[in-house]
Homo-oligomer: A and B are copies of this chain.
Amino acid sequence: MRFQKTTEYAIRVMVFLASYPEQRFSVNVLHKKLNIPYKYLGRLMHTLSQTGMVEVEQGKHGGYKVNSNLDKIYLYQVIGAVEGLENYDRCILGFPECSDENPCPLHKAWLERREAIKEMIYNTTLADLTVNTQ
């Protein structure tokens, strides 16, 4: 019961970028600041840039910068961009036929907790998550 590493990386990067919304960072700098493997991060940033959550500039002095609309970028979007959101509507025991009408024995208990997590990721924006460590 945990995020994929890639998802952790993605949220870490986005939180960092959101903390310096005017600045542009190269992959190399992000790699050093956030302790994420350089090449892996490169591909991740490319993926994130394609969703529009970060803006990219190529060439010398290029790099990545968060999209200015911090309060429009939700955690669920970051998670959805990397590991998807299927798990948040899934039976915890993997029963395909599990539903409110035909519940598995953990259905209700898990539903409540899962909804609390969804409430978190669907209501938290990057504007809520800035962190200044400078």
Listed in ascending order, the chain A residues whose CB lies under 8 Å from chain B are 1-3, 5, 7-8, 11-12, 15, 79, 83, 87-88, 90, 92-95, 104-106, 109-110, 112-113, 116-117, 120, 124, 128-131
Contact = CB atoms under 8 A, between A and B. Distances in A.
Contact of A109 (B1, B90, B113, B124): B124
State how many copies of this chain the complex holds: 2
B129 A90 contact: no
A106 B79 CA distance: 14
Contact of A2 (B15, B90, B116, B120): B90
Contacts of A1: 1-3, 7, 79, 83, 87-88, 117
A45 B7 CA distance: 32
